[in-house]
A and B are shown apart, each in its own frame.
Chain A
Amino acid sequence: MTLIEFGFKEQEGRLLEDELAVRFHVRQKLYGHALEMAVETGQTRRIPEKIGMFQTDVSEGTYYPHRWGWGTQWPTTSNDRAVRTEPMRGGISISDEYHYAYGTLGGLVRDRMSGAELILSNWHVLAVDWWARPGQRIFQPGRLDGGNHTQTVATLMRDGMSQNLDAAVAVLNGQRRLINEQLGLGPIRGVVQPKLGLEVIKSGRRTGITRGRVVAVEGVAKIRYGYVERLIRHVVRIEPVWAGGEVSGPGDSGAIWLEKATMRALGLHFAGSNMPEEALALDMLSVLNALNIDLVTTA
């Protein structure tokens, strides 16, 4: 929020001079999923349609003192998942170039055809829009963590939505290395099929390192993406190990769930519920086959 004032309501670029409103000026006006995510993550709050007897209005505007120099820097953060990271690793902030959001960089994968090194995350983190095209830029950190075009690390390559999998890959542009390591956990050591009762662990941008247990496999879910509902297959469900524990939150999408005992990957996190506290992941083997990629692992 940069300014709150009394003024005329604005509609389609015109001021309605017979309608006084409480006008809120913000650095960036958010819509749809980006707004929902910013509200979820506590970065913003919804502005009510009316305050007392007055309508409200939201405009974009950033204001600086008139002095020589470039504008203020985005606030820095002490969260090591939310900052520019080199070399990059799984568990850190990432986003596409258009949305004021962040998700999680899952890990390093390799294209089975070309051998190219790619970033693995979700469709709704790397592509987000149905009209997204290959070549769309990927920022690290994500835009909601202050990322911008100078932090472009990859470009969107392909996704698995046509195969009912919320997964996508982006090809690294050579600006920064990506290594096989999950922040705070170490390297991924293989891939394993999810089994009921397996104890699992993940490293995600929002909730960091959390533990859980696989309580269901091979699910078919209906998930809302904005106003569109999509069928998602090969869903693995994860509950906290102990009652009252947290497994995931908004911004963890793209994180890789690992078998705790062996550090082998079994799922790509993409959704969750707070009541009850549960995480949903995509079966990793299905993701790898759908996208024709291999996870880079260390023996």
Chain B
Amino acid sequence: MTASPSQSPWVKVYQARDKLVEQFLSHPEVSLIDIGYEPDLAAGSVVLQIHLRRPEAEKLLSLPKTVDGIPVRVIIADYRIE
């Protein structure tokens, strides 16, 4: 899988992201869900990333390790308009 969002294998990634969004984005501790990559994984592999406002929030949510085979990573970050 390449790192360009316009190509067809990304359809599966978008569907997995949408599942995560539907299930978790409404939680007040979740600030962002996006699609990224990790240098440790094989070249071209992508991961789903769920951003939590506080580290403690991870215990409150039963986050899956993968969605449709795509790994899910947790990032602690809150975002504000600039």
Question: Which residues of A are at the interface with B, using a C-beta cutoff of 8 A?
Answer: 33, 122, 124, 166, 193-197, 206, 215-225, 231, 235, 237, 248-253, 269-273, 275-276, 278-280
Please state if A278 and B34 are interface contacts (CB–CB under 8 Å): no
Question: Can you give 30 contacting A-B residue pairs, CB < 8 Å?
Answer: A122-B81, A193-B6, A194-B5, A195-B5, A196-B3, A196-B46, A197-B3, A206-B82, A215-B36, A215-B37, A216-B35, A218-B17, A219-B33, A220-B17, A220-B25, A220-B32, A221-B32, A221-B79, A222-B30, A222-B31, A222-B32, A231-B25, A235-B34, A237-B32, A248-B82, A251-B82, A253-B81, A271-B81, A272-B80, A273-B79
Selected from B6, B34, B36, B77, the residue in CB contact (under 8 A) with A275 is: B77
Please state if A225 and B81 are interface contacts (CB–CB under 8 Å): yes
Which secondary structure dominates chain A's binding surface?
strand
In the assembly, what is the distance between CA of A224 and CA of B81, in Å? 8
Knowing A195-B4, A218-B5, the reply to whether A271 touches B36 (Cβ < 8 A) is no
Knowing A193-B4, A196-B37, A197-B37, the reply to whether A216 touches B49 (Cβ < 8 A) is yes
Q: Kindly report which residue of chain A lies nearest to residue B78, judged by CB atoms.
A: A273
In the assembly, what is the distance between CA of A166 and CA of B82, in Å? 11
Taking CB atoms and an 8 Å cut-off, the chain B residues in 1-59 that contact chain A are 3-6, 14, 17, 21, 25, 30-37, 46, 49
Please state if A223 and B79 are interface contacts (CB–CB under 8 Å): yes
Please state if A220 and B5 are interface contacts (CB–CB under 8 Å): no
Number of residues on chain B facing chain A (CB within 8 A): 25
Please state if A276 and B77 are interface contacts (CB–CB under 8 Å): yes
Question: Which residues of B are at the interface with A, using a C-beta cutoff of 8 A?
Answer: 3-6, 14, 17, 21, 25, 30-37, 46, 49, 75, 77-82
Knowing A222-B25, A222-B32, A235-B32, the reply to whether A270 touches B5 (Cβ < 8 A) is no
Selected from B4, B14, B17, B77, the residue in CB contact (under 8 A) with A278 is: B77
Please state if B6 and A219 are interface contacts (CB–CB under 8 Å): no
Please state if B80 and A271 are interface contacts (CB–CB under 8 Å): yes
Q: Kindly report which residue of chain A lies nearest to residue B17, judged by CB atoms.
A: A218
Chain B residues lying within 8 Å of A218, measured Cβ to Cβ, are 5, 14, 17, 34-35
Chain B residues lying within 8 Å of A193, measured Cβ to Cβ, are 4-6
In the assembly, what is the distance between CA of A231 and CA of B79, in Å? 12
User: Which 5 A-B pairs have CB atoms at the shortest separation, nearest pair first?
Assistant: A219-B34, A216-B36, A196-B3, A216-B34, A221-B32
**How far is the CB of B25 from the nearest CB of chain A, in Å?**
6
In the assembly, what is the distance between CA of A256 and CA of B16, in Å? 29
Please state if B82 and A217 are interface contacts (CB–CB under 8 Å): no
Chain B residues lying within 8 Å of A223, measured Cβ to Cβ, are 79-81
Please state if B81 and A270 are interface contacts (CB–CB under 8 Å): yes
In the assembly, what is the distance between CA of A250 and CA of B31, in Å? 18
In the assembly, what is the distance between CA of A221 and CA of B78, in Å? 10
Supply 14 further A-B pairs (C-beta < 8 A) apart from A217-B35, A251-B82: A196-B37, A196-B46, A197-B3, A215-B37, A218-B14, A218-B17, A219-B34, A222-B32, A223-B80, A223-B81, A231-B25, A252-B82, A253-B81, A276-B75
In the assembly, what is the distance between CA of A196 and CA of B5, in Å? 9
Q: Kindly report which residue of chain A lies nearest to residue B46, judged by CB atoms.
A: A196
Most A CB contacts (10 A, CB to CB) among B14, B31, B46 go to B31
In the assembly, what is the distance between CA of A252 and CA of B80, in Å? 12
